Structure 1
Amino acid sequence: MTITEVSEKFNIPQDTLRYYERIGLIPRVHRNKSGIRDYTEEDCKWVEFVKCMRNAGLPIEVLIEYVALFQQGDETIEARKQLLIEQREQLKKRIEDMQQTLERLDYKIAVYEQSVVVREKELRK
């Protein structure tokens, strides 16, 4: 796949894909004889993984470390697992915080809705 196709498939700007490759967030993408990036299915899996992790809020630095460990081979499996466990715990905490915020917003909205109903009743009198 060309960078244009990958960009469209994952809704990621081409410049972002180039940046991800340059900083080691995704492994180097093979280039054809003309020097144009030729994304394989495996490359696309990396792009999808990184997009998912970034959408969840994982820091770029952590993902770069993960990719570097992955490229070192099976002897880094435990380190990769530990890194993912740490990130999962941080994500769970963020989700809890967001849930509390959502509950607070729901409460505030309910208060405003209640005050609108009361105000409308008063105006009808």
Structure 2
Amino acid sequence: MPYSIGQVAEKTGLSTYTLRYYDREGLMPFVGRNAAGRREFTDDNLDFIDLITCLKATGMQLSEIRKFVDLAMQGDATLETRLNIFKQQRQAVQKQIEQSQKYLAKLDYKVRFFEAACDAGCEAAVSGDCDIPDAPIVIDDSLRVNRAKVSGR
């Protein structure tokens, strides 16, 4: 059963504008057209669009995706080349994950730091080393702010 562009947009979460743009950019040469010239998508097309979405979401440029699509359209003669593309993209995603984990560790540290600062009533009372994410957060009790004074009580 063929799907209209609106149905594909609904199924994929991509806008009809994005789908048309991808088609104009040569990312969907596999999509057929009916007698009226309207795009008709198949389940296999949806799978390929999902792959395009994955590649884009992992940072691959549209020009690189277009090259991949061109290779896929050539068939089995390009299997090794396509395998290498996926291996390279996998490495790129692995690096993104590692960097994101470092950012997450820093954010976790900052959450602990600012929770301690809120508890102490000021940042000056709090110390730690954000370059060591698991470093302990230390509160200097002599620098704590008396909340009653701050709130005017």
User: TM-score, normalization: structure 1?
Assistant: 0.91
Q: What is the CA–CA distance in structure 2 between the aligned matches of 1:57 and 1:104, rounded to whole Å?
A: 23
State the partner residue of 2:66. Answer: 64
The CA RMSD measured in Å over matched residues stands at 1.7
Report 1:1-125 matches (<5 A): 1-119=3-121, 122-123=146-147
Measure how far apart 1:66 and its partner are. 1.0
Q: Which has the higher contact order (CA 8 A, sep 6+)?
A: 1
Counterpart-to-counterpart distance in 2, 1:43 and 1:5: 12
Q: Deviation at 1:21?
A: 1.4
Whether the aligned pair in 2 keeps the contact of 1:20 and 1:26 (CA below 8 Å) is yes
Task: Name the CA distance, whole Å, in 1 between partners of 2:20 and 2:84.
Answer: 28
Q: Report the number of matched residues.
A: 125
Distance 2:29 2:103 in 1: 37
Residue deviations 1:79-109 (CA, integer Å, cap 9, x gap): 0001111111111111111111111111111
Q: Which has the larger radius of gyration?
A: 2
SS of the counterpart of 1:108? helix
Higher strand share: 2
Aligned-partner Cα distance in 2 for 1:72–1:83: 15
Kindly report structure 1 stretches of 4+ aligned residues shifted beyond 4 Å: none
Identity over aligned pairs, percent: 34
Q: CA shift at 1:35, angstroms?
A: 1.1
- Is the 8 Å Cα contact of residues 2 and 37 (structure 1) preserved in structure 2? yes
Q: Secondary structure at the match of 1:58?
A: coil
